[in-house]
Structure 1
Amino acid sequence: MPNPRVHRRWAAPALARLAVAAVVGLCVACSRGAPPPAEPPADHVLRDIRLFQGDSTLHDVRGLALAPDQTVWALAGAEPFVHVYSPGGRFTRAFGKKGRGPGELLNPWSLAGAASADSVLRVWDTATRRLASFSPAGEPAAGVTVRTAGSAVRGDIRLVSYGEPQKMERLGDGFIVQDDAGGVSQTADFWASRLLRLSTEGAVVGTVVDFREFLAGAPPLGTATVFVPVPLWTTCAGEKLAVLDPLRHRVRWYGADGRALAEQAYRPERRPVTDHDVQRYVRHTVELEMRDQNLAARRITRLVSRMASQRRSLFGREAPPAVAILCDHQGRVWLNRFSTATSPLGYGSDWHVLDGTERGTVVRFPSRFRPAVLSRDGAYGVHEDGLGVQTVAFVPFARGFLAAGR
C-alpha cells in the first residue's frame, strides 16, 4: 500500500522546529556542513531530457514498462495505478482502481510489459499475490495467483532504502520474482531473499538464485543496516538473468533454469560513507517521520539520537558498489553508482556500463533523472524535482551511442 505519511500534512511547527534542531545537532556531531564527495569523471554526459506531458496525478512511481509499439506504462503507488503514455510522450489514459475485483489492485509492486503488440501487460500485486493482466487497451484479463508463502515488507521500504524487494520481470515465457520470505524492514534484510521463476500460470518452477549462497566464503557483513552492499538483479536479452554479487564485485549471468552461464568482474569507484551521506539520510528520515501528525516529539528525538550515537554500527563504512541495475537491448549490464548528491538513498546520476572492456564505460544522466527502461534510442525513466514532483521522462541516446565500447 502507498505510504500514508506521504499524503498527510506536516506536523505542528513546534515539532518541526524540534526535529530540525535535532538534525542540526547530529550534523554538528558529524561535521557541520559536510560537502558531498567530488564526482568522478564520466565518459558520456547526457544532457537532453524530454518530460512527458498531460498527467499531473503521478506520484510514488514504482516502475515503467515499454510496449513493442513504444507505448509507455507507468505504475504509481495510488489509484489509478497504471498510467499510459503514447510513443510521443503524451498521457492517454489511466486504469487500475483499488480493490479486489476484476481489474482492481491492492498493492501493485511492479509490472512487466507485453511481449508482443497483442499480448497482455502483467502487474505484480503483492497484497493479493496475483499477477494481474490487462490488455493493451487497459481492459482486465484473466490473472493468476502465485502460490508462494508471501512475506512482510514494510510499506515504505522504497522511501528508506535502495534495492527492489518483490520486483517482477519477464524472462522468456515466464517471470522472475524476488521472494522475501523472511520479511524486509531494512536494507540488510535483502540478503535473505531468493529469486523464483514463475510460469505464465503463476506456478513456481523453481529457485534460480538464493542470495544467501553469495555469503559463503565472503567477508562478514557486520552490524550495519544502512548503506550496505546488497545483491541486485535484472533480466537480459537471450533469457538471461544478471545478478550483482556486491561482496566480490562481479556480475553473474544465469539461465532460466538457474545454471550459471558466465561472470564478469566489476571495479567500482570505492569510497567511504561520508558525513554528507549520513546527514542527507538522517534529514530524509526525519522528514518522513514528521509527516505523521500523531508522531510524538519524543520519537523524533529518539530517532535522531539513535542515528547519531550508533553511526558506526548503523551505517556501512564503505559506500555500496551499486544501488540499481538495468540491462540494455544488447545485453549489457548497467550499474548505478552510489551518490547522495541528489538522492538521500544513494541513487546517483552515474551508471557504470559493463561493455566488455576491462574498465567499462561511465554514463552520466541528467540530474534527478532515474532510468527504468533502456531502449535502442534512449532511456525511459522518472524525473523528480526538488519538491518531490515526479514526471515520466525520456533521455535520448545519440546515434551510435555505445555501439562499440566507449
Structure 2
Amino acid sequence: MPNRPRCVSRRPLAPCPDGRFPLTLLLLGVAACSGNDPSGSEAGAGEAHVLPSDAVQLLGTSDALTWVRDLEVASDGTIWVLDEHPPFFVGFQADGEVIAELGHRGEGPMEFGHPVSLLAAGGGDPGTSGIWAFDRLRHSLVRVREADVLFPSEVEGTSVPLPQGVVRPGSLLARTGGIPGMYPWMAAAGNSAFAAHSGGGASRGTGYWTARVVEIPLESGEPIERWRMEELLPSPEAHYPGATEFLPFPLWAVCPDGEAWMYDPARHRVRSLHAPERTDHALPPARNVTFSLDRLLDLLLPSIVAQVPTSERPPDDVLREQLAGEVDQMIDQFAAVFPEYFQMLCAPDGTLWLQHFDWEEGFAGAGWSWERLRVGEGDSGAESIRLPAGFQAFRITSDRAWGIVMDELGIPSVAWIELP
C-alpha cells in the first residue's frame, strides 16, 4: 500500500488563485480568543463534567484510514468512517472488527468523485435505510450500504441526484465552523435527509442568515423547503450594523424523530424550528472575546504552515506581512461577532449537544467542551461536558460520544467514550 499522509482534519486551507489566502473564511474558522473569561460559558453552566483521558475506549483502526472526514453510527450499531482517500468508507462492527472497506474514485455508478458527508437513514424502508454519502462532485446522495447487510463487498450504489435548479452545486452550507466549502451540514430523519443552502445568496456571512433548510426525501431527491432563516432571525444589518462577511452563524440540528432545532446567535438561545416563538432554551452566557493583531498572527501562521504545502504558500515573513495587512482592519469587527459554538448535534434520545469554539486548546477551532441540553425534559439548563483532549467527536448517541483519536505516529483509530 502506498504511503499516504496520516492526519485527521475537517477543513484544509487553500490559497486563492492569486496566491492570497481567503482571510475572511480563515478568520471565521480558526481565529482564537486571547484568553478564557472566567465569567463566560463554562462558568455559567449549571453542572460540569470533566471526562478523564483513560475513559476513552479504542474500538479499532484500519490501514485504509488516513484523513478522517466524517463518522456515522448505523441503527444496527455498526460504525462507518468516511476517509479523504479511497477506499472512502470503512465499516466496523461494535467489537472493532472491520466489516468493509468500500468506495473508489471514478465516474462509474458505484464510484465517487468526492464524498464529503455521511448519513444514517432509518425509517424502516428497505429502499432507503442504510448509510448514505453526499458526493460533492456528483451533487448526489449515494447509498453506500443497505441496512442489515453485514459484510457488504461493494457500494450499494443507489444514487439520488439533487436538482441543480433548486439546490445549486456549491451552495450547501458547512456543518462546522461557519466556513463555506466542501463539507456541508446534513442530517437524517426517517427516510429523508436535511441540508441548508444559501438560496441565491453567498455561501458565507449573511448567507447563513438567509439560508433555506430543506428536506430531501431519499426516494425522490426532490427538496422540500422547510424553513427560511430570514423569517426566524433579525436583519443582520439591524443587529450587527456594518457587518457583512463577519457574522456569528446559526447552527441546525434535526433529530431522528424529525424534531428540528436552531442555535439563534442573535438571541444566544436554542429554538425549535417547528415552534420558534414558543419553545426556546437558555444557554450559559456568551464569552467576552478580545483580540490583538499579534495574537491572531501567532495562531494563524502555524495553522497555515501545518496545512498548506510549502510550494503553495509564500515565505513565512511575506505571509505574516500579508496577513497583517488584511487582518489589521478586521480586529474590532470580528471580535464583536466571534462565533460561540462550532457545531450542534442531536442524539437519538433528542438531547442537543453544542460544541464550543476553542482554537487555543481545541482542534482546528473545535473545542473539547460541549453543552448538553435535555430539551425533552423542559428547560432544565445546560450541562457542560468536557471531553478528553485529543478526542475528536463526530457523533453522539444516547450514552456515548463517537470519534477519532490519533496515536503518537498520527494513525487514527475509531474510539468512544461513555457519557455521564
- TM-score over 0.5 for the pair: yes
Once the two structures are superposed, the pairs formed by residues 231-246 of structure 1 within 5 Å of their partners are 231-246=250-265
Among 120, 144, 149, the alignment partner of 2:130 is: 120
Among 96, 120, 130, the alignment partner of 1:89 is: 96
Match of 1:147 in 2: 163
Kindly provide the CA deviation profile for residues 312-349 of structure 1, in whole angstroms up to 9, marking residues without a partner as x: 25633354221110112221211112222323643111
Residues 343/350 of structure 1: CA separation in 2 closer, same or farther (3 Å cut)? closer
Residues 281/379 of structure 1: CA separation in 2 closer, same or farther (3 Å cut)? same
Once the two structures are superposed, the pairs formed by residues 3-402 of structure 1 within 5 Å of their partners are 40=42, 43-47=48-52, 48-115=55-122, 119-134=129-144, 135=146, 136=149, 137=152, 138-149=154-165, 150-152=168-170, 161=179, 166-181=184-199, 189-217=207-235, 219-220=239-240, 222-223=242-243, 225=245, 228-255=247-274, 262-275=279-292, 278-279=296-297, 281-287=299-305, 290-297=308-315, 300-312=319-331, 315-317=334-336, 319-343=338-362, 345-355=364-374, 356-384=378-406, 389-397=411-419, 401=420
CA distance in 2 between partners of 1:224 and 1:277 (Å) = 23
Of 43-52 and 262-271, the range deviating more from structure 2: 262-271
Q: Which amino acid aligns with 2:50?
A: V
Q: Which runs of 5+ in 1 are unaligned?
A: 8-33, 402-406
Q: Which runs of 5+ in 2 are unaligned?
A: 8-33
Query: Given that residues 61 and 75 in structure 1 are in contact (C-alpha distance below 8 angstroms), is that contact kept between their aligned partners in structure 2?
Result: yes
Residues 344/392 of structure 1: CA separation in 2 closer, same or farther (3 Å cut)? closer
Residues 189/390 of structure 1: CA separation in 2 closer, same or farther (3 Å cut)? farther
C-alpha displacement of 1:159: 9.1
Kindly provide the CA deviation profile for residues 179-203 of structure 1, in whole angstroms up to 9, marking residues without a partner as x: 2345767566533432111112343
Q: Which amino acid aligns with 1:206?
A: I
- 1:212 counterpart SS class: helix
Query: Given that residues 195 and 210 in structure 1 are in contact (C-alpha distance below 8 angstroms), is that contact kept between their aligned partners in structure 2?
Result: yes
Of 193-202 and 216-225, the range deviating more from structure 2: 216-225
Query: Given that residues 321 and 338 in structure 1 are in contact (C-alpha distance below 8 angstroms), is that contact kept between their aligned partners in structure 2?
Result: yes
Match of 2:17 in 1: none
TM-score computed with the length of structure 2 as normaliser? 0.74
C-alpha displacement of 1:211: 2.8
CA distance in 2 between partners of 1:124 and 1:170 (Å) = 12
Query: Given that residues 80 and 92 in structure 2 are in contact (C-alpha distance below 8 angstroms), is that contact kept between their aligned partners in structure 1?
Result: yes
CA distance in 1 between partners of 2:385 and 2:204 (Å) = 29
Q: Which amino acid aligns with 2:398?
A: R
- 1:391 counterpart SS class: strand
- 1:340 counterpart SS class: coil
Residues 191/208 of structure 1: CA separation in 2 closer, same or farther (3 Å cut)? same
CA distance in 2 between partners of 1:40 and 1:104 (Å) = 45
Residues 172/157 of structure 1: CA separation in 2 closer, same or farther (3 Å cut)? closer
Kindly provide the CA deviation profile for residues 8-62 of structure 1, in whole angstroms up to 9, marking residues without a partner as x: xxxxxxxxxxxxxxxxxxxxxxxxxx66666945621222112232314424422
Of 191-200 and 95-104, the range deviating more from structure 2: 191-200
Q: Which amino acid aligns with 2:331?
A: R
Kindly provide the CA deviation profile for residues 115-165 of structure 1, in whole angstroms up to 9, marking residues without a partner as x: 259633211112111111123424323212111342337999979949995
Of 135-144 and 159-168, the range deviating more from structure 2: 159-168
Query: Given that residues 154 and 184 in structure 1 are in contact (C-alpha distance below 8 angstroms), is that contact kept between their aligned partners in structure 2?
Result: no
CA RMSD of aligned residues (A): 3.8
C-alpha displacement of 1:385: 6.5
Query: Given that residues 383 and 392 in structure 1 are in contact (C-alpha distance below 8 angstroms), is that contact kept between their aligned partners in structure 2?
Result: yes
Name the % identity: 22
Of 149-158 and 388-397, the range deviating more from structure 2: 149-158
Of 173-182 and 288-297, the range deviating more from structure 2: 288-297
C-alpha displacement of 1:369: 1.7
CA distance in 2 between partners of 1:253 and 1:60 (Å) = 35
CA distance in 2 between partners of 1:204 and 1:315 (Å) = 38
Residues 166/308 of structure 1: CA separation in 2 closer, same or farther (3 Å cut)? closer
Kindly provide the CA deviation profile for residues 212-263 of structure 1, in whole angstroms up to 9, marking residues without a partner as x: 334425512644746x4111111114211111111111222235xx997733
Tell me how many residue pairs correspond in the alignment. Answer: 368
Of 284-293 and 167-176, the range deviating more from structure 2: 284-293
- 1:78 counterpart SS class: coil
